[in-house]
Amino acid sequence: MHAQLHSCLLVKFVYEPPYASAACRARKRHWQFAKPAKDAPWSAPFPARFSRNALFSRDSVSTLRFGLRRYERQRAYVAGIAHYHELMASVLDISVQHHPANRSGRDFVVGDLHGCVDALRYLLRLVSFDPACDRLFSVGDLVDRGEHSEQALALLDRPWFFAVLGNHEDALCAVADGRLRRQWWYGIGGAWAANLPDESLRRYAERLRTLPLARVVGSGPERFNVLHAEFFGTDAELDAGNFSAETRQQLLWGRELAMGNGDPQRQRGLSLTYCGHTPMRDIKQIGSQVFIDTGAFGPGGRLTLVEPRALRRWSISVEEARAEGAAALALP
């Protein structure tokens, strides 16, 4: 069973794109897997075989772009507003949270969870996660689509778990505030909350509003960032956290970089940044961002866990995890 987990050690530096930040070049985090997948490797320069890596459909990228633009217009129409980001930009207590480097344990980053807690249980057991000294960072989207959204939200109370806000959490907050119709949220996976009392939803929203839009871990060459969708700017601009409404919308919903519309040159000076939001068939680096959402909630999808310092990653599907008895495993 372990052979099916696609766990591998990243061993060879293969590509140094001209737009890589100085921090990225110093760390040489452009990798090739010891057991590369059939698709383009994580380190392959965009747009190398992008259409084969996206999970949305087998249509052309241009068709996909059109569909996403139409989807964005529909979101604004359903909400009854002219500017979608004005609705969805939640009032957060903090925009960026900084964490010192972990000198006593290991740091991991997990892709979009979407309620797939059983897969997470298995992966944490596989890596022998130690809650006393290890930390788990999340790129957001804990809820919707999968089976255990409330269990995923309960992770926020674990002292070793550090998430950023995802667009699905932002949608939950908008529904709790009455800024978004429940029916629209149900359409993107929020149906798990159909029988959830308004008071419970408001309590979840209060907790989620304490999540930052980005987390910064460590400093210097060892630094890495965690956010949900995408960010164009430098480390200094990210650290400042003075985000406009447009930048907040991009941090939560942006797909320009993943769809080939964003210029990686705009990420000069940005440390390696882990993100999710856009499902990929495999981990993929574009510019300074590493996309680790591998579609855990969908058919053929997997939940991916990475360890930045050791350059390792693991992934497993919910079905495989359950076949190994993950549902009976306790979280750390």
Check: CB of residue 181 under 8 Å from CB of residue 175. Answer: yes
- How would you write the pLDDT of the chain (332 residues) with one tens digit per residue? 443 343 333 322 222 233 333 444 344 343 333 233 333 333 333 333 333 344 443 343 444 444 445 545 445 444 443 344 455 554 455 799 999 999 999 999 999 999 999 999 999 999 999 999 999 999 999 999 999 999 999 999 999 999 999 999 999 999 999 999 999 999 999 999 999 999 999 999 999 999 999 999 999 999 999 999 999 999 999 999 999 999 999 999 999 998 888 888 888 899 999 999 999 999 999 989 999 999 999 999 999 999 999 989 999 999 999 999 999 999 99
The residue assigned the tokens 């529904």 is 175
The residue assigned the tokens 């060892």 is 222
Q: Which of 6, 30, 114, 168 is catalytic?
A: 168
Phi-psi region of 220 (alpha: psi -120 to 50; beta: other; left: phi over 0): left
How many Cβ atoms sit within 10 Å of the Cβ of residue 263? 11
pTM for this one? 0.76
DSSP state of 195: T
Check: CB of residue 136 under 8 Å from CB of residue 105. Answer: no
For the chain, which domains are there?
Answer: 2-328 (3.60.21.10)
Question: Measured between alpha carbons, how far is 49 from 42 in angstroms, rounded to an integer?
Answer: 11
Annotated active-site residue 168? The verdict is yes
CA–CA distances in Å: residue 235 to residues 100, 137, 153, 286, 293: 15, 18, 29, 17, 22
CA–chain centroid gap for 317, Å, is 16
CA–CA distances in Å: residue 147 to residues 61, 94, 112, 209, 302: 30, 29, 14, 23, 14
Question: Measured between alpha carbons, how far is 90 from 12 in angstroms, rounded to an integer?
Answer: 41
Question: In the Cβ-directed half-sphere of 267, how many Cα atoms lie within 13 Å?
Answer: 27
